[in-house]
Structure 1
Amino acid sequence: VTTSDPEEVREHVAASGLRGRGGAGYGVAAKWRAVRRADDTVVVANGDEGDPGSYADRLLMEVHPRRVLAGLALACFACGAARGRVLVRSEYPTALATLRRAYERACEEGHFGRDVHGTGRVLEVEVGAGHGSYVAGEETALIASLEGGRGCARARPPYPTERGLWDAPTVVGNVETLAALPWIVSRGGAAYARRGTPSEPGTKLVSLSERFARPGVYEVELGTSVEHIVHGLGGGLREGARLAVLQIGGPLGGFLPADGLDVALADAELAARGAALGHGGLVAFDDSVGPADVLRHTWQFAAAESCGACSPCRVGSRLGLELATAGEDPGEDWVRLARVLEEASLCAFGRRLPAAVRGLARAYGQRFPAGWAS
């Protein structure tokens, strides 16, 4: 901040090819360019990590809080923002307390405040807790939550970069995304771009669930084989259990069969298999859980976590649960429901539901209840 200018930071990030690590995968440099420069511009660090099986953001906030805050400061500097907000998932009280202590110490050291390192720049940050909603991780729902409202998705346009928190231009960045910025700025965007693949550069944190022999958070280059992550890093499943399907990218990300792990950990390659990178959570299901149980669980999650802002998702998730619980071929009811969810849902939560269910059906193959693959 004291030796460079905002344009230099923006150039490093543009050269790095960094994309959002929260699930949407939007280019960070493009989002920064889109924000309307104004005195009230604000940058929000999204730590409302809601995907079951994902805990990478929690690790960063609890173990590396200064890196997260440094990334937030760099994003504010690049976007001309004097205000920053950090929203921490309500189920992460240790992360919340750790970040607050780290921020207080950083203020004492002159990194934040009314006169950052004697430059005359103002940068003040507020660290707060979320309200326990999965959908509140979506940026417009997160903004609504920060304003004290229900964590429901909003129609776009206007986009948050135009009118976001309290109608101010707002840049929302995932915690993992922001935590990558100090490395990129200190070593150069080109160095970061040499990792990963030409089309999807950099690294990604992946969270392996408790069914793995070696569960935990691993940092891998994008393009790494999912099979290597599951068997090489995770050690396969514990107690010699056999993998049935692998959920990747959260409950709405997608599913891969046990014999379909020969795919790169990258958005384009996973999309070709009907899955999605999402936030990088890998949840293993073994043969102790039946296909019909996984199907019901998917719909139960959707019905419980729908924010209710739009009828297609609010009503459709409950109808899907009814169809799954009935245990019969859903026939045309599912075809119509899927079309409505995909075409009329307000946000990606509802729109991704049919793809997740179809991916689950493909992963289980003939073992899956009939009628859901269409």
Structure 2
Amino acid sequence: MTTLTDTPTTRVPAPAPALDTETLRRLPKAVLHDHLDGALRPSTLLELAGAVGHRLPAGDPAALADWFRAAAGSGDLVRYIATFEHTLAVLQTREGLLRAAEEYVLDLAADGVVHAEVRYAPELMVKGGLGLAEVVETVQEGLAAGAAKAAAGGTPVRVGTLLCGMRMFDRCREVAELAVAYRDAGVVGFDIAGAEDGFPPADHLDAFAYLRRENMPFTIHAGEAHGLPSIHQALQVCGAQRIGHGVRIMDDIVDGRPGRLAAWIRDRRVALEMCPTSNLQTGAAGSIAGHPITALRDLGFRVTLNTDNRLVSGTTMTREMELLVREADWTAADLRTVTVNALESAFLPYAERRALIEDVVLPGYAAVL
């Protein structure tokens, strides 16, 4: 007689949970490439613009958000950057900087971000009479206020600051010195930003040599609007530890085989700060499905996922993840990988990186998935 216990059974694995928007939002995230002046809330921008008398191209939050996305989606990096005249107009006062920085952290917390590195160019925020040091101190004060509120709400966020020098101007060394001066006050690194084509990173060797002498980490925007020479200079001439965007590294990969520069980047685990939605807007990539982040992930590069500019690109980390899941067939394991990649390359002490990975990210994924 055969009983129920005698009947052979096949164990069917539980189906993977659906990666819907709310599930993705709850996943712990790390973002390395995010600009403060591209991340204001539309409603805040409207209020601050009214206070300083700056005229905006739209008069309500939804229409303003739509305008930014449309204006930034021209396929041209220079036109993309031009939209920042409106956000920078309201970041020239202490009040504007404090509010933007505080709300930035709260928006990260709502997005499930546990570590962020936010960047901005202090030299673009002094038209209202603030000095460079005052700008840095004010932003740090706002970030600290936001972090305190996020922690009190049960969603702590660790935020470090990168100071940007503008590659088409001549204050990069000055800003590099500012970054070192505030390294114990929340500034964790340096970057150069602005129009890439025609303004090679090697123009600012003095700043990068100074940062290396001072043991200050830095990343460089490269391989977005210009190709392999820009990436090569950033790494081999200037000494960057990470690359902002880097999508043009695909020019050095033929039939799935990396060339010498691409292999060097992969083998030495140089993080690529990739920003899919932004890259579509500037013409650096043609689609989410065909974005280099997936091919580079499959080839073993240390890719990271980022927002670049939350307002200008109309995005969040949750949305970037959702796009990759829906249009490029990414899995939860893929998202966990890029999150761990980001923390492995964060400008944080080793012990803090490991603690975020082992105590926050991995348990967070296990709890949700």
TM-score, length-scaled by structure 1: 0.28
